[in-house]
Amino acid sequence: MSGELRLTGLTRVHGRGRPPALDGLDLAVPAGSCVAVLGPSGSGKSTVLRLTAGLDEPTRGSVHLDGRDLAGVPPERRGVAMVFQRPLLFPHLSARDNVAYADRVRGAPRRRARARAAEFLDLVGLAGLGDRAPRELSSGQEQRVALARALAAEPRVLLLDEPFSALDAPLREEMHELLVDLRARLAPTVLLVTHDPAEAAALADTVAVLEAGRLQQHGPVAELHARPASLSVSRLLGGRTEVPGQVRAGVHHSPLGALALPGPVADGPGVLVVRPEAVALAAGHADVTGTVVRVRYRGLRPLVTVDAGGVAVHAELTPGDDVVAGAVVGLRLPVAARHVVPVRPG
């Protein structure tokens, strides 16, 4: 149930004179892995899935599955299955018969198809609910049926188009745990589209960031957090501190002062970025001193904005750190957490 997916130079232009919805995407999804395509609305994420599934044709480029070029292959023969944002269940069929649909289309006897459907319903935690109509299911249960139906088709690649975005937070968490469990049991190849960085981090082996149809960066989520290739990647992943300055001999010079960098960086203009969760209150020596201008909370964690010489430094502090607006504080910016995004000409 695992195939190697490779997208090469994938481009889609919807009309003459319009910018590409997808522009020259190169992306490899190894067999058994999960790659998340992350980006804001209109970045081309869903276009990637539609081209992979054969629901649209690329203007240029190719889709290969296990080395086979899928050009001209209809969706039902591609060896892929997609789960959409909405479950799209057949309302006149029971949950069991929705899941059995793929086997029935392939000519399997009704009894055998229903027996296999029951196995997949059990796999997604819906044992005993096979006789229920879609209208009798909760939204989370409907999406579990949709996932079971996709898995029952035994695809080489499972395509997920923001399938949990319409669910409330507790249900999303349940679905995340279910997908992690299914990956451990079945090792499917998964291409997931999402606009939620936390979802990408929870589910994917690697994350590909799209903006305006172009791939900005692809790698493990920890790498993207620590070493974003651009300010847009940093912002999408929750980075907020951006300090323009100049790099000279491995040191970033700005209104914050001279801050040493963890590795070699080319001299020239660059923007220093530091993840908010990496910044901490300084008990002794401080890298930066400033005035707290804002405090808000994410759960028990204070989210603090500090004005340091006219530069805003953002910190996500640990529970129990007691700071108030107007207080003068010192901050530590660990050297390993400092990263400079070069300023590109133009």
Mean pLDDT along residues 8-14? 95
Mean pLDDT along residues 315-335? 92
The domain ranges of the chain are 5-226, 239-342
Contact indicator for 275, 303 with CB cutoff of 8 Å: no
Contact indicator for 189, 300 with CB cutoff of 8 Å: no
What pLDDT is attached to residue 1? 67
What pLDDT is attached to residue 300? 87
Contact indicator for 64, 8 with CB cutoff of 8 Å: yes
Q: Is the pLDDT of residue 219 over 90?
A: yes
Q: Is the pLDDT of residue 343 over 90?
A: no
- 63-79 tens-digit pLDDT: 999 999 999 999 999 99
Q: State the amino acid at position 19 in one-letter form.
A: P
Instruction: Identify the band that residue 229 occupies on the pLDDT scale cut at 50, 70 and 90.
Output: very high
Q: What is the mean pLDDT of the chain?
A: 94
Within 8 A by CB and 6+ apart from 247, the residues are 253, 261, 265, 266, 267, 268, 269, 270, 340
- 236-291 tens-digit pLDDT: 999 999 999 999 999 999 999 999 999 899 999 999 999 999 999 998 899 999 99
Q: State the amino acid at position 4 in one-letter form.
A: E
What pLDDT is attached to residue 292? 96
What pLDDT is attached to residue 345? 64
- 158-195 tens-digit pLDDT: 999 999 988 898 899 999 999 999 999 999 999 999 99
Q: What is the CA radius of gyration of the chain?
A: 24
Q: What strands, in cross-sheet order, belong to the sheet with 339-342?
A: 257-260, 251-254, 241-248, 268-274, 339-342
Q: Which candidate, 297, 339, 287, 336, places its Cα nearest to that of 318? A: 297
Within 8 A by CB and 6+ apart from 202, the residues are 176, 180
Q: What CA–CA distance (Å, rounded) separates 171 from 218?
A: 28
- 31-62 tens-digit pLDDT: 999 999 999 989 999 999 999 999 999 999 99
Q: What strands, in cross-sheet order, belong to the sheet with 34-38?
A: 80-83, 157-161, 189-194, 34-38, 206-211, 214-219
What whole-number percentage of the chain has pLDDT above 70?
Answer: 99
Q: Is the pLDDT of residue 16 over 90?
A: no
Mean pLDDT along residues 142-161? 95
Instruction: Identify the band that residue 346 occupies on the pLDDT scale cut at 50, 70 and 90.
Output: low
What pLDDT is attached to residue 214? 96
50-54, 144-148, 340-344: least confident range: 340-344
Q: What CA–CA distance (Å, rounded) separates 127 from 59?
A: 44
HSE-up of residue 275 (Cα within 13 Å, Cβ side) = 17
CATH code for residues 239-342: 2.40.50.140
Q: What CA–CA distance (Å, rounded) separates 136 from 294?
A: 47
Q: What CA–CA distance (Å, rounded) separates 124 from 121?
A: 5
Instruction: Identify the band that residue 155 occupies on the pLDDT scale cut at 50, 70 and 90.
Output: very high
Domain 5-226 superfamily per CATH: P-loop containing nucleotide triphosphate hydrolases (3.40.50.300)
Partnered with residue 214 across adjacent β-strands are 211
